[in-house]
Amino acid sequence: MTQIQKNDISRLLHQLSGLKISEFIKLLTEEFPGQVTFSSSFSYEDQVITHEILNNQLPVKIFTLDTGRMFAETYSVWSSTNAKYGTNIKAYYPNAEALQEFIEAKGPNSFYESVENRKSCCGIRKVEPLKRALAGNAIWITGLRAEHSADRHDLPMLEWDESNKIIKYHPILHWTTEEVKKYINDNSVPYNPLHDKGFVSIGCAPCTRAIKPGEDFRAGRWWWEDADKKECGLHVHEG
């Protein structure tokens, strides 16, 4: 990270204090016009931020990563979100040639066989499309919450993402699950019905299950792997 980037983050963190989410996003769009983007997986968290952006008519580009193996319920909430806000959330897709070569070589469900295969699948379906989606932007807004992973407890609300050369903003990082649910209900925001069935973190259908009472938030993702390997590469935190 350059000195300019460090100064940007320090200054923005200072400006963030005391502002509502929509007010700070508006400030970001004024400072970085046309260079603020938000990635949505249509989770509870992302729907909160989508409402903040679209209800306040903020000029933020919203995109999703369509891996090709999403739940039917995810596509439904995508459609209902477009309909409610009169928008058209852009999708980025895996490179067809890379995906075809991977499946022909490894098989359609090879991600169950090894961590290496699973990370390769995530790389093709999510990480590479994300890089395309973020290219040319200065600010990446995310729906990360500290409750979802121990690695996120000490995250700042603004950080530098070295992998994608972009400033990340996590507006609801410190919200509780109860606060998220209340916001969704109070504002009649469309949400994924899988959340009502015990699904916390919703990704690709073959790699996501509901969690059981007392289980960690991340237990429903890649449940066949060791807990310390459960990241897909979208959010890499520098030590």
For this structure, is 122 an active site residue?
no
Strand runs (DSSP E) across 66-148, as ranges? 90-92, 139-141
Query: Which position among 122, 204, 207, 232 bears the catalytic label?
Result: 232
Q: Which long-range contacts (CB under 8 A, 24 or more apart) does 144-149 make?
A: 144/45, 144/170, 144/173, 144/235, 145/45, 145/170, 145/172, 145/173, 145/174, 145/175, 145/180, 146/173, 146/174, 147/176, 147/177, 147/217, 148/200, 148/201, 148/217, 148/218, 149/217, 149/218
Indicate the DSSP class of residue 236: P
Could you list the active site residues?
Answer: 232
